[in-house]
Amino acid sequence: MGMVDVTEKPVMRRQAIASGRISLSPATVGKIRAGEIKKGDPLQVAEIAGMGAAKQTHLLIPHCHQIPLDTVGVSFKIGDEAIQVRCHVRAQARTGVEMEALVGVSLALNTIWDMVKYLEKDAKGQYPGTRMTDIRVEMKEKVEL
């Protein structure tokens, strides 16, 4: 067992998009839109966190290869009761970048939760309506150079 040997695989242009969703109370979404979150702008911080996480995937998932990424983009779509997050990763490599996209979107979602958790807690300190869901790979592509 161990890391897959990709020595004989050709370098290709690879990209992946992963997405996920965090459900929040309408009041919390309103405060995000109004710029009233105590720790700052959760989307700005989540963008930086997602990009950094994608670049560190090989340190977080034991069998992932270290891939020099050409670009990582994190974007957001704000609804009334949720935020949709997408992470787009591109590289020229011997192996795919879908794990990098998944790690990026997951950490962006976790960062949003961390920054708004004080608004989402109920009287018992629980999170009855807060959910991270629908984390998936939307697209994976490889093209010969």
Enumerate residues 6+ apart whose C-beta is below 8 A from 57: 64, 67, 99, 100, 103
Residues 53 and 106 sit within 8 Å (Cβ to Cβ):
yes
pTM, two decimals, is 0.95
Element (H, E) at 70: strand 69-78
Question: Which active-site residues does the annotation give?
Answer: 114
Task: Evaluate whether residue 11 is within a structural domain.
Answer: no
pLDDT of residue 19: 98
CATH code, domain with 107 = 3.30.70.640
Which domain covers residue 119, as residue numbers?
Answer: 16-144
What are the angstrom distances between the C-alpha of 102 and each of 28, 36, 49? 25, 29, 13
pLDDT per residue over 6-42, tens digit each?
999 999 999 999 999 999 999 999 999 999 999 999 9
- Per-residue pLDDT for 1 more than 80? no
- State the total domains in the chain: 1
Task: Evaluate whether residue 3 is within a structural domain.
Answer: no
Task: Evaluate whether residue 5 is within a structural domain.
Answer: no
Task: Evaluate whether residue 53 is within a structural domain.
Answer: yes
Element (H, E) at 60: helix 57-60
Q: What per-residue string of b and e applies to 64-92 under the rule 16 or more CB within 10 Å gives b?
A: bbebebeebbbebeeeeebbbbbbbbbbe
